[in-house]
């Protein structure tokens, strides 16, 4: 309750949250050092790290494995574990067990749940058990295939009002924040104004209380496609490729390694070693 009040107060003070995904220890460490507000171990893991065609393929074991790594890299960060479809599709009882795994095994501080037909019931169950929950509305990739594909949501008045209704229901249910993905900026602005909790946008315009991006989109590490809402802040993929090409050329030409990359043996030990080489 204290945490939720703090967030509501921070929103009133017009705090803006910067949220990013991470899936492993070294990048989590970078995010923590950079002072990111919250780290989301998103089920985008499936696409940007594990090479699945969609996020729906990610398993609970995979999510927990990566949450553990993130926590090792960022021991002090606020880490949110994303409940994958396979961890919630059987309803509230399964979702509670999954959420508890995120908190206890994955050492997350909270979980996130994408909207689905049982999302409200799941949120109620989790909140009753003391699990901090973040909601996710708008484009919900886990169910996108069944609900019209990967496109901008809430583009007509009826679905914009329905999104607002769901947002309010999630807030009333006790979620501490909400992700709003791929909705028109003007709709996101009204939803953000209507809620007391922070609304974190992704493809939802500049007036949300914060932003979230997939690290691999921001850093140029995922080349299959870049969503229109993502901004690339660097081309780490290209940098790594160039470094790998230089390394391969030097390894082949003998330019690498040099003496400074090698280890020495005492002269006398070497003499004895060489003497013993052909002595059996
Ligand atoms: O899985 C994820 O990374 C997400 C963000 C895109 C919000 O849900």
For residues 62 and 45, the answer to whether their CB atoms sit within 8 Å is yes
131 lies in the same domain as 258: no
Split into its structural domains, the chain has a count of: 2
Beta-carbon-side half-sphere exposure of residue 270 (alpha carbons within 13 Å): 5
Among 143, 183, 180, smallest CA distance to 159 is for 183
Domain, as residue range, for 118: 2-234
- Clarify whether residues 41 and 115 are in a common domain: yes
- Residue 35: predicted pLDDT: 98
Ranges in the chain, pLDDT < 70: 1, 280
List Cβ neighbours of 253 (8 Å cut-off, separation of 6 or more).
none
Q: Is 136 a member of any domain? A: yes
What six digits make up the tokens of 256? Answer: 């690498």
254 and 158 part of one domain: no
Do 170 and 196 belong together in one domain? yes
pLDDT of residue 146: 83
Q: What is the pLDDT of residue 278?
A: 84
Question: What is the domain-level CATH number for residue 207?
Answer: 3.20.20.60
Judgement on whether residues 228 and 259 belong to the same structural domain of the protein: no
Residue 211 contacts residue 201 (beta carbons within 8 Å):
yes
The residue among 203, 219, 234 that closes a domain is 234
- Say if 97 falls within a structural domain: yes
pLDDT score of 1? 56
Q: Is residue 86, in this structure, part of any structural domain at all? A: yes
State in Å: Cα 249 to ligand 1 middle: 38
Q: In this structure, is residue 280 part of a structural domain?
A: no
Note the pLDDT of residue 256: 98
72 and 117 inside one domain: yes
Residues 221 and 129 in one domain: yes
Please indicate, yes or no, if residue 167 is contained in any of the structural domains: yes
43 ligand 1 Cβ < 6 A = yes
For 239-272, what is each residue's pLDDT tens digit?
A: 999 999 999 999 999 999 999 999 999 999 999 9
Residues 123, 198, 171, 186, CA torsion sign: negative
Residues 45-90: tens digit of each pLDDT = 999 999 999 999 999 999 999 999 999 999 999 999 999 999 999 9
Ligand 1 test: best mutation among 31, 110, 141, 144, most atoms within 8 Å of CB?
Answer: 141
Measure the CA–CA gap between 141 and 269, rounded to whole angstroms: 63
pLDDT of res. 130: 97
Question: Does residue 181 carry a catalytic annotation?
Answer: yes
> Do 69 and 139 fall within a single domain?
yes
Q: In this predicted structure, what is the pLDDT of residue 231?
A: 96
Question: Residue 278 has what DSSP assignment?
Answer: T
């Amino acid at each position: 309750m204290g945490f939720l009040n703090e967030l509501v107060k921070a929103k009133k003070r017009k705090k803006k949250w910067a949220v990013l995904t991470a899936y492993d220890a070294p990048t989590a460490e970078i995010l923590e050092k950079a002072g990111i507000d919250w780290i989301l171990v998103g089920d985008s893991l499936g696409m940007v790290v594990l090479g699945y065609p969609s996020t729906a393929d990610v398993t609970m074991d995979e999510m927990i494995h990566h949450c553990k790594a993130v926590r090792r890299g960022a021991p002090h960060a606020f880490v949110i574990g994303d409940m994958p479809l396979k961890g919630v599709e059987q309803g509230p009882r399964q979702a509670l067990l999954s959420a508890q795994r995120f908190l206890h095994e994955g050492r997350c501080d909270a979980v996130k749940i994408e909207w689905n037909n049982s999302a409200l019931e799941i949120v109620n169950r989790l909140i009753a058990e003391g699990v901090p929950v973040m909601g996710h509305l708008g484009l919900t990739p886990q169910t996108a295939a069944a609900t019209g594909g990967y496109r901008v949501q809430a583009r007509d008045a009826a679905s914009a009002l329905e999104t607002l209704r769901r947002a309010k229901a999630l807030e009333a249910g006790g979620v501490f924040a909400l992700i709003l993905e791929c909705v028109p900026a003007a709709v996101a602005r009204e939803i953000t104004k209507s809620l007391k909790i922070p609304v974190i946008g992704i493809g939802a315009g500049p007036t949300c209380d914060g932003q979230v991006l997939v690290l691999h989109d921001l850093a140029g590490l995922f080349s299959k496609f870049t969503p229109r809402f993502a901004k690339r802040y660097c081309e780490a993929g290209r940098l790594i490729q160039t470094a790998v090409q230089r390394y391969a050329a030097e390894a082949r030409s003998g330019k690498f390694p040099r003496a400074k990359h090698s280890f020495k043996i005492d002269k006398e030990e070497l003499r004895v070693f060489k003497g013993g080489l052909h002595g059996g």
